[in-house]
C-alpha cells in the first residue's frame, strides 16, 4: 500500500510554526493533494484532554517526568488512531509539534536524561519519524515578544533560560540529522518562509511515485 508523507513543524514559542503548517496544508489541498493537519498535544479525544492539562493547568504541579509521560500518552494515541491510518491512505500528514519537541523541552529544557526521553518517545511513536521536519529558528526573546498580547500557557511563562535551552536543543537535533531537518530563520517574512518550505515539499512530492 502506498504510504504518504509525514511532515512536522518545530520551534520555540512565537516562531510562527502554526501559521506555516496551516499555510502548507492550504497549499497542498488547493492542488488536490490529500492532506491532514494535526497538532500536539491533541488530535484525539484523549490528546485534547491531556493537552489542556499540560498547557493550561496552572494550579496543578506537573513534574518533568510526568510531563514526558503525559505528552507521550497523547502522542501514542495520535499515532495509532490518526497518523498511521492517514499515512497508509497515502495522505500528507502535517503535524504542529511531535517527538522532537518533547526532546527539546523535557530533556534540554527541563533537564531529563536525553536517552530516557528518546526511549520513551520511541515507544510512544512505534519508531515512526517524519520524512521532513521544519524548524523555524528564532531567538527566544523575539519569539516571546510575539506572545505578549495573548494569554500565555505554562511553557510560554517559563523564564528566558528555559527557552534558550529549548532552542539549543532543537538546533542540536537538527545538526544530528541534517537530511531530515529544514532549518529556516524565523525572522524572515511569512511569505519567504512559506516559499522555502514549499520548494522543499514540492521537491519531495515530485520525487515520489505520486
Residues of the domain holding 132: 6-207
**In a domain? residue 167:** yes
Neighbours of 155 (CB within 10 A): 17
Identify whether 98 is part of a domain: yes
pLDDT in tens, 7-32: 999 999 888 999 999 999 999 999 99
In a domain, 22, yes or no: yes
Give the CATH number, domain containing residue 135.
3.40.50.300
- Name the DSSP class of 110: T
Residue 1 lies in a domain: no
Any domain includes 109? yes
Is the pLDDT at 147 greater than 80? The verdict is no
pLDDT tens string 87-121: 999 999 999 999 999 999 999 999 999 999 999 99
The reply to whether 121 falls in a domain is yes
CA distances, 84 to each of 14, 77, 88, 90, 133 (Å): 29, 10, 6, 10, 17
Q: Which span out of 132-146, 148-162, 173-187 was modeled with the highest average pLDDT?
A: 173-187
Flag whether 202 is in a domain: yes
CA separation for the pair 23, 32 (Å, rounded): 15
pLDDT at 145: 81
Count up the domains in the chain and report the number.
Answer: 1
Percentage of the chain surpassing pLDDT 90?
Answer: 78
Residue 41: CA atoms inside 13 Å, Cβ hemisphere, count?
Answer: 26
In this prediction the pTM is 0.93
CB-based contact 162:12 (threshold 8 Å): no
Amino acid at each position: 500500500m502506498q504510504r504518504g508523507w509525514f511532515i512536522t513543524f518545530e520551534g520555540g514559542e512565537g516562531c510562527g510554526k502554526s501559521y506555516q503548517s496551516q499555510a502548507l496544508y492550504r497549499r497542498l489541498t488547493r492542488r488536490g493533494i490529500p492532506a491532514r493537519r494535526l497538532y500536539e498535544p491533541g488530535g484525539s479525544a484523549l490528546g485534547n484532554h491531556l493537552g489542556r492539562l499540560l498547557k493550561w493547568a496552572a494550579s496543578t504541579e506537573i513534574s518533568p517526568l510526568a510531563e514526558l509521560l503525559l505528552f507521550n500518552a497523547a502522542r501514542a494515541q495520535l499515532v495509532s488512531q490518526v497518523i498511521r491510518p492517514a499515512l497508509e491512505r497515502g495522505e500528507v500528514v502535517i503535524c504542529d509539534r511531535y517527538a522532537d519537541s518533547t526532546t527539546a523541552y523535557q530533556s534540554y529544557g527541563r533537564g531529563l536524561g536525553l536517552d530516557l526521553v528518546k526511549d520513551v518517545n520511541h515507544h510512544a511513536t512505534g519508531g515512526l519519524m517524519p520524512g521532513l521536519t521544519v524548524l523555524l529558528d528564532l531567538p527566544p526573546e523575539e519569539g516571546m515578544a510575539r506572545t505578549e498580547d495573548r494569554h500565555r500557557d505554562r511553557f510560554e511563562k517559563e523564564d528566558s533560560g528555559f527557552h534558550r535551552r529549548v532552542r539549543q536543543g532543537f538546533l542540536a537535533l537538527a545538526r544530528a540529522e541534517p537530511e531530515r531537518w529544514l532549518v529556516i530563520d524565523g525572522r524572515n517574512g511569512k511569505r519567504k518562509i512559506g516559499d522555502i518550505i514549499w520548494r522543499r515539499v514540492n521537491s519531495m512530492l515530485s520525487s515520489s511515485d505520486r
